[in-house]
Structure 1
Amino acid sequence: MSILDRSFNDIAAHAPKPERGRPKYPPPFSIRFTFEERAQLDAERGRQTLSAYIRERLFGEDATPRKKRVNGPVQDAEALGRVLGVLGGSRLSANLNQLAKAVNTGSLPVTPETEADLQEACREVKALREDLLRALGKQPGSGP
């Protein structure tokens, strides 16, 4: 252990503990990698964060677990890709905006065909929403 490490450990051991609120953590540690080293780390880490991967490699099973993300990872990347592809290829938001403008100005003719088209569009938007929720690991019909 270097002198700097011992000094840091002494300071951290004698630092006052916060009375309430979130605990204070030591400052982050920075390390520089060559482009090749970083590419190797990125290839080996898979879907893990780089910091979690490095911590796991350094400490193995002794690594202190971190808090889980509030918004969990994508459960079904393929389904998410399909939904985002459909949304990206559509003009859904622009078309919905045009419909809303026509309704507000009173220039949307309400015929049985128009009503059927709007109901079908609503069903398609609902199906996209359900696919997106499933891809994110949420149950359709549950809260936000």
Structure 2
Amino acid sequence: MSRTTARPARVGPLAAALLFAFALAACGGDPGAGNAAGAKSSSAGLPTGRLAEGETLANAKGQATGQSCIDCHGADGNAPLDDSYPKLGGQYYDYLEHAIVQYRDGKREHALMSQQAANLSDQQIADLAAYFASRPSQLRDLHGAH
């Protein structure tokens, strides 16, 4: 009696790329997908983000620093005041939420951001993340960069 050993199936490069793309879409993507309010709830369990409220917050001057998000990160989050400040426009919704929560909770430190985020509610963080995630993206990966 011959005995055969099952081998795991090999995944080709195209299939691997598609699986990766599906995984990314499940974790990030368009904050407005599937929701008439324009945003989705986060994987962190924060409330559903609201675009209009996020835009208002992004343009409001913070009490702690007298600056707005737009003052430092630029219009639509794509024109930072300083090269060391990140572009926020088109960034993943969940990433933005997690970063702002970390600033608020003292797990991530920055002289301005820690102060700006200190008094933000979960809803305000969700709103800001929804707004910046919905903006046009100038982000790019470094695939093939030399």
TM-score, normalised to structure 2, is 0.21
Higher helix share: 1
Bigger Rg, which one: 1
TM-score, normalised to structure 1, is 0.21
